[in-house]
Amino acid sequence: MNLKELASRLGLSPTTVSRALNGYAEVNEATRERVMAEAKRHNYRPNTRAIRLATGRAFAVGHVIPVATRHEIVNPIFADFIAGAGETYSRNDYDMLLSVVPDDQEEETYRALKSKGNVDGVIVHAPRMNDPRIALLHKIDMPFVVHGRATGAALPYSWLDVNNRRAFQRATEFLLDLGHRRIGLVNGLEFMDFAIRRRTGYVDALTARGLTPEPALMASDEMTEISGYRAARKMLMLPAPPTALLCASMISGMGARRAVQDMGLVMGRDVSVIIHDDDLSYMKNGDDVPLFTATRSSVREAGRLAAEMLLELIANPSLGPREKLLEAELIMGQSTGPAPV
Amino acid sequence: MNLKELASRLGLSPTTVSRALNGYAEVNEATRERVMAEAKRHNYRPNTRAIRLATGRAFAVGHVIPVATRHEIVNPIFADFIAGAGETYSRNDYDMLLSVVPDDQEEETYRALKSKGNVDGVIVHAPRMNDPRIALLHKIDMPFVVHGRATGAALPYSWLDVNNRRAFQRATEFLLDLGHRRIGLVNGLEFMDFAIRRRTGYVDALTARGLTPEPALMASDEMTEISGYRAARKMLMLPAPPTALLCASMISGMGARRAVQDMGLVMGRDVSVIIHDDDLSYMKNGDDVPLFTATRSSVREAGRLAAEMLLELIANPSLGPREKLLEAELIMGQSTGPAPV
DNA sequence: CCGCAATTTGAAACCGTTTTGGCTGATCGG
DNA sequence: CCGATCAGCCAAAACGGTTTCAAATTGCGG
């Protein structure tokens, strides 16, 4: 069933039927109801391909997932972010397009997305320092929202981010207040913007109390269980080991916990651990009582909001860059306690 | 730059240019080269929206992700499967469409995808017993491939699955060979098809050796860390606790490990643990030496293959249902050992 | 050198919508 | 009663490609 067929069945022109269905004012209310009823009866749904060509719009948003050819890591927070964004798109009748591309083809992918007209805008994932994608997207005039921020970007851009600096600063202060003086940082890869900000927060908190950050207590690697384990273990084997650890994710935190236990220590008593909890649905930090003390911020909610922001930008391109900073909450779990004496 | 413009610039008709670019035989080789060169010079890329309307094809594949409105779990293997499938689509110039929908709107979503013409086919995720989606997709004549199988389906269908029964049977036999007699099963939700098959494999192995499966040693829940912890803990507190555990995933395995350690036991000595390892990129089971003894099968590779299968089906709909069963390998880690005496 | 086939090209229809620019007939103010 | 206004509808163009069908040119055998 297509528009022409429906129209002839109603004894109307396609023009009028189209207008009736799209809520234009110039069609008689009685006619509109007749059209609506007939459309429902025949389960008519306008062909998306035709709408897209006629309107020149894609009604779709792209998410380009670069896959590092070397260490093929798919970001674990990705699934939840996508789920959140997808909810927004579904509500607004937009399609979500996922492009999985080798990272050396990322630029080409954006250009193709633009010139082939597959999407109306994109979400930029995992921004790095001086991220080249921002200038590129500006140049090709593609609306976009960055999940995170890109320190060093020359041009303004829309973003949505968690206050990573503040979160890690507060977590560090919390540990300091508990009497800890040697605090290890098990960070993510520090060419990622969020990891840089987290380190800044940690360093700031230490120096504000007159403590000097020690390189041996600062690790940076992928946020996997193994990396967390290795980094924590290495620190705990130092002559002067830390009494507390700050971990970049739930997963590396689980690695850290394993390292603590392997050495016969007790988490929350001998070693305090704070993690950043992205509130992943398959990786809940306990239920009633949180397992880890954590800085928490829902990445799924971030997905919802980032998508909403992008849709607004698409609907109204004249809108200046929009920015949204989410604060993480500090939640108490069982993994922290006063520094051992 | 569009086709008409490019054609007039070349002094040719749009027809010939289109044919030249699409590799039709009836165009002079010299002309084709001129066209190709000019297209490259101007960076011409045909408008996807127009191609789609003209050809009546979507050049896109849908992945419908149902989100349970109650327990909002996003399947953790999802990200890697998508990454694998996405690689295939990128190679073949297909778009991947992700629909995140409340599970009570799933049927409506498939129907809409079909009648609006957004996709040429779909991948069905997380099949359950007697899954209604199979009959539906047959009815609306939408090509599809199931990731997994759906016991009880009346009609034939294309699928790609891991031999879950065999994997868990082998794992159980391996533990039996090590002298274990009380083996706990920490399974996924048993309305999921794969979980049923795994239990079957486990039960078969036990009964083949004259052992009777005990309900107290069989748990079934979401595959989260917490659930794994709870199930393992409960079993280990039994008057006659198991000496080995079989866990449905890396994540629930980590919960089980925590339970073991919490009780002052040592994994691999007091309690042996085998997990199923989907080889998730952010959740590697060790590196050189696997942490857990495991049945391993790459879900990312499954994504690649399932997508290839679907594209073949789309290209050649007359093809009968295709089936592919992948075997999991049993890999030795540090989490298993002979049963304690 | 002619006729026929093969090669190469182009005009126009088509895909299924939206949108532009009338057209008709009724209503209304003067 | 007349011209202007307006509500309601429609024909046709447009979107940017693909595809059908026909035409023009070339090559070749006789």
Q: Is the CB of B54 under 7 A from strand D?
A: yes
Q: How far is A99 from chain B (nearest CA, A)?
A: 6
Least Cα distance to B341 among B178, B144, B209, B113 occurs for B178
Cα–Cα distance for residue pair A95/B4, rounded to 1 Å:
29
Contact A65, B133 (CB under 8 A): no
User: Phi-psi bin for A122: left (phi > 0), alpha (psi -120 to 50), beta?
Assistant: beta
How buried is residue B34: exposed, middle or buried, by Cβ count under 10 Å (0-12/13-18/19+)?
Answer: middle
Q: Decide the pairing of beta strands B244-247 and B183-187.
A: parallel
Contacts of A339 (CB under 8 A, 6+ apart): A178, A179, A180, A181, A243, A244, A272
Residues of chain A contacting B254 with CB distance shorter than 8 Å: 225, 254
Residue of A56, A75, A300 with shortest CB distance to B282:
A75
Contact list in A for residue B65 (CB cut-off 8 A) is 83, 86
Residue closest to C12, CA→C1'? B15
Q: What pLDDT sits at residue A240?
A: 97
Residue-by-residue DSSP string for A11-30: TS-HHHHHHHHTT-TTS-HH
Does A225 sit within 8 Å of B254, measured CB to CB? Answer: yes
Going by C-beta distance under 8 Å and a sequence separation of 6 or more, which residues neighbour residue B33?
none
Angle between helices B29-41 and B3-10 (to 10 degrees): 120
Question: How would you class A311 by CB atoms within 10 Å of its CB: exposed for 0-12, middle for 13-18, buried for 19 or more?
Answer: buried
A108, A114, A281, A284, best to mutate vs chain B, most B CBs in 10 Å: A281
The dihedrals phi and psi of B243, each to the nearest 5 degrees, come to: -100, -5
Instruction: With a cut of 90, say whether residue B69 has pLDDT above it.
Output: no
B178: distance to nearest CA of chain A, Å?
A: 25
The shortest C-alpha distance from B224 to chain A (Å) reads 6
> Measured between alpha carbons, how far is A30 from A260 in angstroms, rounded to an integer?
74
Determine contact, residues A281/A249, Cβ cutoff 8 Å: no
Q: Which residues contact B226 (CB under 8 A, 6 or more apart)?
A: A284, A286, A287, A291, B255
Above pLDDT 70, what percent of chain B?
A: 99
Contacts of B96 in chain A (CB under 8 A): 97-100
Residue nearest to nucleotide C6 (CA to C1'): B26
B139 — pLDDT class (breaks 50, 70, 90): very high
pLDDT per residue rounded down to tens, chain A (341 residues) = 999 999 999 999 999 999 999 999 999 999 999 999 999 999 999 999 999 999 999 999 999 988 876 555 677 788 899 999 999 999 999 999 999 998 899 999 999 999 999 999 999 999 989 999 999 999 999 999 999 999 998 999 999 999 999 999 999 999 999 999 999 999 999 999 999 999 999 999 999 999 999 999 999 999 989 999 999 999 999 999 999 999 999 999 999 999 999 899 999 999 999 999 999 988 889 888 899 999 999 999 999 999 999 999 999 988 889 999 999 999 999 999 999 98
- Cβ of A73 within 8 Å of Cβ of B282? The answer is yes
67-126 on A, CB < 7 Å from strand D: none
Judged on CB neighbours under 10 Å (0-12, 13-18, 19+), A43 is exposed
Question: What value does the mean pLDDT take over residues B144-159?
Answer: 95
Contact status, residue B226 vs residue A287, Cβ threshold 8 Å: yes
Half-sphere exposure of A135 (CA within 13 A, CB side): 9
d(CA B249, CA B119): 32
A22 touches strand C (CB under 7 A): yes
**Alpha carbon distance B227, B71 (integer Å):** 13
Query: Are B49 and A52 a contacting pair at CB < 8 A?
Result: yes
B51 touches strand C (CB under 7 A): no
* Model pTM score: 0.95
pLDDT by residue (tens digit) across A190-238? Answer: 999 999 999 999 999 999 999 999 999 999 999 989 999 999 999 999 9
Q: Please judge whether A287 and B48 are an interchain contact, meaning their C-beta atoms are less than 8 angstroms apart.
A: no
What is the predicted pLDDT for the residue at B288? 83
Within 7 Å of a protein beta carbon, the nucleotides of strand D are 7-12, 14-20
N- to C-terminal Cα separation, chain A: 78
Mean pLDDT (whole number) for B87-111: 94
Pairwise CA distance, residues B76 & B81, whole Å: 10
Of A283, A282, A277, nearest in space to A331 by CA: A277
Q: Considering only alpha carbons, which residue of chain A is nearest residue B258? A: A258
Alpha carbon separation from A198 to A109, A213, A272 (Å, rounded): 30, 14, 18
CA distances from B193 to B128, B146, B152, B169, B207 (A): 5, 11, 10, 16, 21
> Which residues does B187 contact at the CB level (< 8 Å), separation at least 6?
B195, B198, B199, B218, B219, B220, B221, B248
Whether residues A97 and B96 touch (CB distance < 8 A) is answered with yes
Q: Which of residues 34-93 of A touch strand C (CB under 7 A)?
A: 46-47, 49-51, 53-55
pLDDT for position B50: 98
Angle at B105 between CA B144 and CA B319, to 5 degrees: 10
Percent of chain B predicted with pLDDT > 90: 87
Chain centroid to CA B11: 50
Q: What is the pLDDT of residues B208-221, one digit of tens each?
A: 999 999 999 999 99
In order of their start, the domains of chain A are 3-55 (1.10.260.40), 60-162+299-326 (3.40.50.2300), 164-297 (3.40.50.2300)
